[in-house]
A and B are shown apart, each in its own frame.
Chain A
């Protein structure tokens, strides 16, 4: 008589997987929000002081208390958090004090600027890393392998900001090939900037940012390709008379593609970290720079909003990576 158990229809595996992962993403966002809120509260910054800026000297204690009460700073921290969370769930992330605009709007604009930088760098770094890894793994221990490995280790060991500054010194200052800063020439209105000028300003930051992704991608792909080149199916291809390049392109690249995609999406967090540095060095008006500004000038709503947006982006990246693994591998298809 187990009617309830029998009546419940089984969810398709992919849908159940998706639901599980979305629940996990929501929990992740909640904990990131709580942690970021706690950190902002613990920071030795008086939000009222930060809001007033230089005008702080002219404001008396009674007015300060009024401002604090207006913003709810007189209430205990958990109550403040719940109030912020409730508003955030309704889509209201608050007002950014340093940009004097709604946080959602600031993040939207800044994110678009960051995306023009991050998307090309992400794709370029991924493609370049995969190609290099494939070339290196096809013949383990050959000279391309050794050269590419050295290059990848070198890249992995170099700090991103140092590399960005090096690029700036060589290509912008010494050679004068590329502009040294910003997303557009200074003193121009957005409508006046040509596409050529935009691209010229994009080259160095994209180069600096994509170079960061090349190293790990090349090393991971190399390991996967080398493993596939030793596998039985590769031996069989050789036994059929296939040449090394054919085995690498037809078999090994196929087996390395999925882990590479997963790394590409899972690496979105690192990309974001790299973009904070690159945007700072190249004075790019993106989200990363806004995060640093918000931190230095105690713009708590903006900082929380950026933390949430970043966590959402990285979480979605990981979700996509897992979904790809689920969907692309035929061995995973049609199995519970």
Chain B
């Protein structure tokens, strides 16, 4: 569904008085997201994983330089044409909702942006919120009056308003307690099971692992490996890169082998 081949992103900045240099941030990343699967991209902060989401949605700042190819359903990806309609974003924090607008109204606006005719926007928004257990009371609230979990579900409602085939979730569990994090990931899993492609970007391997089909490990802007989620078991013998193995072994689920995690 989504194919990234040798995607590189850098940022232009002035070097001295006249010259400009490009600081690389993402180097030659190749990934694909298939329909019906959850692909998790895991990396520490600064690894460049959020840039992936911004590139796919065309939200990179003006001084970004992009190289490589992005294809969506067989055609070159044009984010400005697809975002909101075919590709939807689940942003990383409550700050992405407009603090001055009631939640329900923001969902209605999103319905309009997803291409729904004016008469259908309000019923569609109500239905989308109801899918994620948010009623009329929640939709009348301003974002700061919502809990983190409610806000995340409102953003899931926005992402599922249109006919988006691909969902990009940037740090969907950030700031949530384990119970709410599991709920949000469960929703994403269900959306993938319904036939959509889901790209989950996270730093939290242990939270994402139970719901992911495949896991891509990113480090310092370069892809270490893409492994099936089932490879993360035992002592990580099925993992190809030492960094992925070290990440896995540092988790309690692996039975803790921190001594072997030291090479990084």
B34 at the interface (CB under 8 A from A): no
> Contact at B57–A239, with CB atoms within 8 Å?
yes
| CB within 8 Å for A235 and B110 given contacts A240-B83, A241-B84 | no
Q: Which residues of B contact A255 (CB under 8 A)?
A: 100
Bound CA span A275–B259, Å: 78
Most-contacted residue by chain A among B57, B97, B158 (CB, 10 A): B57
Q: Which residues of A contact B144 (CB under 8 A)?
A: 330-331
Bound CA span A255–B98, Å: 9
Bound CA span A247–B46, Å: 29
Bound CA span A161–B223, Å: 66
By DSSP majority rule, is chain B's interface helix, strand, loop, or mixed? loop
Bound CA span A89–B58, Å: 65
Q: Which residues of A contact B158 (CB under 8 A)?
A: 240
Segment 88-103 of B: residues with Cβ below 8 Å from A:
88-89, 91, 93, 95-101
> Contact at B109–A250, with CB atoms within 8 Å?
yes
> Contact at B84–A251, with CB atoms within 8 Å?
no
Q: Which residues of B contact A329 (CB under 8 A)?
A: 100
> Contact at B98–A254, with CB atoms within 8 Å?
yes
Q: Which residues of A contact B59 (CB under 8 A)?
A: 235, 238-239
Size band of the interface chain A makes with B:
10 to 19
> Contact at B113–A237, with CB atoms within 8 Å?
yes
Q: Which residues of B contact A236 (CB under 8 A)?
A: 89, 91, 96-97
Segment 35-71 of A: residues with Cβ below 8 Å from B:
none
Q: How many residue pairs bridge A and B at CB < 8 Å?
A: 65
> Contact at B96–A235, with CB atoms within 8 Å?
yes
> Contact at B95–A241, with CB atoms within 8 Å?
no
Bound CA span A330–B96, Å: 17
By DSSP majority rule, is chain A's interface helix, strand, loop, or mixed? helix
Q: Which residues of B contact A251 (CB under 8 A)?
A: 98, 101
B196 at the interface (CB under 8 A from A): no
Bound CA span A237–B58, Å: 12
B85 at the interface (CB under 8 A from A): yes
B11 at the interface (CB under 8 A from A): no
> Contact at B93–A232, with CB atoms within 8 Å?
yes
> Contact at B113–A241, with CB atoms within 8 Å?
yes
A246-259 near B? 1/0 per residue, CB < 8 Å: 10001100110000
> Contact at B114–A254, with CB atoms within 8 Å?
no
Write the nearest CB–CB distance from B141 to chain A, whole angstroms.
9
What are 23 sample pairs from A and B whose C-beta atoms fall under 8 A apart?
A232-B95, A232-B96, A233-B98, A235-B96, A236-B89, A236-B91, A236-B96, A236-B97, A238-B57, A239-B83, A239-B91, A240-B84, A240-B88, A240-B114, A241-B84, A241-B113, A242-B109, A250-B101, A254-B101, A255-B100, A330-B99, A330-B142, A331-B142
Given contacts A237-B109, A240-B114, A241-B114, 11 further A-B contacts (CB under 8 A): A232-B91, A233-B96, A233-B97, A235-B96, A236-B96, A236-B97, A239-B57, A239-B59, A239-B88, A240-B84, A250-B109
List the 5 closest pairs (A to B, CB-CB), nearest first: A241-B84, A239-B89, A236-B96, A241-B113, A233-B98
